[in-house]
Structure 1
Amino acid sequence: MGSTQTLSDVNFCPRCGAILPTLGPTGGVVCVVCKYEIDVEIMEEYEVKYVIEFNTRTNYKEQQKLKTAQSKSDGPLVERKCPRCGNDTMSYASLQLRSADEGQTIFYTCTKCHFKETENS
């Protein structure tokens, strides 16, 4: 092993991206997928830094509004304009109603006025 080894994340193999196990029989860490070996000294020198970002009051209010809309919706939300009231958010659900070689049917529901529309994809 050379001294030029670097790790982007101590938990993942820099060659193949697999999760790294604990120390191997040779004293280093050996990837179980590609057999790449990392010297334990490099692992000890590696420092993990985390950044925690807190929401601003405005972002928090917007997220709470979105969560409220999601709890009242029929499914996941998507940015789609309601043709009836002009609201920008609709929930959707998809089902395979037609034969298997045709696309699915998507049901949209407005989160504001509860207008429903369908689309065959």
Structure 2
Amino acid sequence: MASFSHEPGFCPQCGTILPMLGSEGDVRCYNCKQTFGPEVFSGLECHYVIHFNSPNVYGGSKQKADSADGCVVERMCPNCKNDKMSYATLQLRSADEGQTVFYTCTKCKFKETENS
């Protein structure tokens, strides 16, 4: 078989995607059975930046009145009768059921949920 130009992570002999490095530090192609060193993966370096929320995102410090924790909608707060609430949604139940909507009053921070 002739070699051809290949991308990192693919067999230089047959072009098949390569498995992860083995315990010996080498990789064996499932298709053509050739064995390669770790250099066959050169160029696949990944760099990640993880941004964590600050500690006060979830109420760890006092927030200004009328500040929103998400998108704001016109919805009457049952606690203080304010006409604006922020909301967030999550899929908490099975996939064939609706999502759960979490509302938070922008004034008194009263919270309520609704299953849609």
Using structure 1 for the length normalisation, give the TM-score. 0.40
Larger Rg: 2
Using structure 2 for the length normalisation, give the TM-score. 0.41
The structure carrying a bigger helix percent of its residues is 1
